[in-house]
Amino acid sequence: MNKILLTLLFNWVMACHAQSALRFEWDSLPVFTSIESAIQQPDQVYRLDLRKQKLNVFPVEILQFSNLIELNLEKNKIDSLPDEISKLSNLESINMAHNEIYDLPDGIWQLTHIRYLNVADNILSTLSTQIQHCTLLEELVLYDNPLEEYPDQLSDLPNLRVLDLLHNNISYETQDRLTALLPDCKVIMSPPCNCADGQ
């Protein structure tokens, strides 16, 4: 009986190790830097980097890249994401920093493999309570946004290690609440203000 238990335990440990390794092996995968090249072999697109391409809208062609793990749309002029982004169920990293996004769709909170989400320097005013579904999230970057509220559901993210809120106007009360909510997370904030959050 002990041998069986040991064997099962060994197999479980090895499986966990393999899954963990797979999460980081994508760093060595090729990066596509244009929709035109990616569309030629959609099943081979794991990493897509479309930063600084003067995009005004989210390219809907991206939704067909079902194996996509890393998406970088930094420094464009995109103002929204489609709810259908939920189709990209393998996404682990999204960088939408330095755009003009005013809201995040419900679909983004259905991406339960997300570990890194960067929406810095946009115009977000709210953060959905549905963020609680992204339990693998490790780093959430939201600096330079006029956020007016920070949901208690942030405390439901057991793997969150960094929450970057630098340069957001946050009251003393909210800063104290966030620190209490996230005792094991590095919360990066500018000095608190005598103001309402986001103003």
Sequence-ordered alpha helix ranges (H) in 44-165: none
Q: Which CATH superfamily is domain 32-188 in?
A: Ribonuclease Inhibitor (3.80.10.10)
pLDDT of res. 7: 43
Backbone angles phi, psi at 71, to 5 degrees: -125, 125
Give the three-class secondary structure for 140: strand
pLDDT, residue 2, reads: 53
Residues contacting 39, CB < 8 A, separation 6+: 61, 64
| 3-state DSSP percent of the chain in helix, strand and coil, to 5 | 35, 10, 55
The pLDDT profile of the chain, 199 residues, written as one tens digit per residue, is 455 444 444 444 343 443 343 445 677 899 999 999 999 999 999 999 999 999 999 999 999 999 999 999 999 999 999 999 999 999 999 999 999 999 999 999 999 999 999 999 999 999 999 999 999 999 999 999 999 999 999 999 999 999 999 999 999 999 999 999 999 999 999 999 999 999 8
DSSP 5: H
**Whether the Cβ atoms of residue 165 and residue 186 lie closer than 8 Å to each other:** no
Q: 């203000």: which residue's tokens?
A: 193
pTM comes to 0.86
